[in-house]
Structure 1
């Protein structure tokens, strides 16, 4: 197996942001993303998926380090103050690096 290291940027945030986040992620150079409906509890309380206005999404982006850093910096600057949002970045091994 010949693997290559890429970054997995995970964003957990309010579902209302989905369309603008996807636009931002694509403009900042990501080749793709995965969006999932999620629920949980954090500093802003319980977020359930039963009501659209209070639901959360998880957006996962596999990309190179430069793209992950650019997306993370942009989201922190534009959304952290006003929305429930967390970001985390992990190293992952991929088998087709040209896709990411």
Structure 2
């Protein structure tokens, strides 16, 4: 088993941004990401995944610190003024079960 310590950038935002942010993440060198529906309560009140205009998504990107910083800076500059969005990072240890390194570009 291979272990690697890296950053996890989590983005919780409005679902209307899903397609746009997926393109932006590719452009900003995110090698991969996971997008799921998100529900909860915060600064903008209760949000649920049941009605598209008020639904949220959670995007998780495992990446190096520089990439996490670049993505966070870009999102803050270009989206945070007009969309509900929260970002946070955490240190994670990625476990690979005998999987060879990716050669995807």
Q: Is TM (by shorter chain) over 0.5? A: yes
Query: What's 2:94 paired with?
Result: 94
Offset of 1:50 from its aligned partner? 1.0
Question: Could you state the TM-score of these two structures normalised by the residue count of structure 1?
Answer: 0.92
- Structure with a larger share of its residues in helix: 1
Please give the per-residue CA displacement for 1:17-52, whole angstroms capped at 9, x wherever unaligned.
001111111100011100000111111111111101
User: Which residue does the alignment assign to 2:62?
Assistant: 62
Report which of the two structures shows the higher radius of gyration computed on alpha carbons.
Answer: 2
Q: Structure 2 unaligned runs (5+)?
A: none
3-state SS, counterpart of residue 77 of structure 1:
helix
Structure-2-length-normalised TM-score:
0.87
Aligned to 1:16: 16
Q: RMSD value over aligned CA atoms?
A: 1.5
Which position in structure 2 is the counterpart of 1:42?
Answer: 42
TM-aligned CA deviation for residue 3 of structure 1: 2.2
* Residue 2 of structure 1, CA deviation: 4.9
Q: Would you say how many aligned residue pairs link Structure 1 and Structure 2?
A: 99
